[in-house]
Copies of this chain bind each other. A is one copy, B any other.
Amino acid sequence: MIALDANGADAGPATVAEGGRLAGGGVLLFGPAAALGADAVDAPEAIGAGEEPARAVRNRPGASIVQAARAVGDGRAQALVSAGPTGAALAASVLNVKRLRGVHRPAIAALVPVPGHPTLLLDAGANAEVRPEHLVQFGHMGAAFMSAVHAVERPRVALLSMGEEAAKGTPDVVEAHARLANGTLNFVGNVEGGDLTCGAADVVVTDGFTGNVALKVMEGTAKTVVGAVRDAVRSSAVSSLGGLLIRRRVGALREQLDPNAVGGAILLGLRAPVVVAHGASSAEGVANAVRLARRAVDERMVERTAAALEAGGAMRSVPAASVASRHE
């Protein structure tokens, strides 16, 4: 069962519910019953993008994202999907789904939408500042996702830096490089920003500040360039047939670069898969996110992450009492 937060999508709760149906059901829907009918657990309250996520999640236990995360926490569902704000989904998940044992910090992972070269970038914004041991864990979390969900064997893990040499970057990045090079992952070294869109690695690890900027630069540049091409085609004196064909090709390219096609961001390092679909998702976008979450459950992504962290000696060492507690 997948817990599905019906609030938050720009297109409204009915579109999210439709996405759940398109994905083949097996969905526990949280949203306004007035609009969605008896199939939904009534949760009309939504957390907005402008709210401080941690506070909103604590103060509003009835909000749909909080109820949906709680359903995962208490075992009624095995994964969570939302098209609402990423910050709220992350805060609700940390509180209710909880961190995976031994994980320092959950991360936001994004599949870079470049045709033919799926590259997972993390952290894409959960942690503005990270330590080297966090970056190492991100590597394990990302590799387990690509291996479980995208069937990539021994995913190539790279570290985002200012140059390919091991000594390039901040002291924390240099230290992370050394740890990754001596670890159990298939570490291929540093990559630069330009390598993100050329398939140089399957997983690219960075801090949440750099990752957030990189992802948004990529989206912004793709939009600007595709827009300029459309303008060029439109103003060209091409025959109407030729122009039509080109416009179709450019349109197809735009769809390949569309975040909707990818299925959204994935929160990693939690005790269950959490997928955050783009706010602008169509019903098909939501359905893709639900399918992604289901695949992560079926392929035991979380268990594989835990095993990889343990085998790689990358677990957070914590006092025994804290390990035993569900409320660490």
Contacts and interface: CB of A to CB of B under 8 A. Distances in A.
> Which label, helix, strand, loop or mixed, suits the secondary structure of the A interface?
helix
Contact of A220 (B197, B212, B235, B253): B197
B193 A216 contact: yes
Contacts of A246: 232-233, 236, 238, 242, 246
Interface string A197-218: 1100000001011101111111
Q: What interface size band does chain A fall in?
A: 35 or more
A250 B225 contact: no
B193 A257 contact: no
Contacts of A219: 193-194
B243 A216 contact: no
B213 A197 contact: no
Contact of A160 (B170, B198, B213): B213
- 3 closest A-B pairs by CB: A242-B242, A193-B216, A194-B220
19 contacts: A160-B213, A162-B209, A162-B212, A193-B219, A194-B220, A206-B213, A214-B217, A217-B221, A221-B222, A228-B253, A229-B253, A232-B246, A232-B249, A233-B249, A236-B245, A238-B242, A238-B246, A239-B241, A241-B242
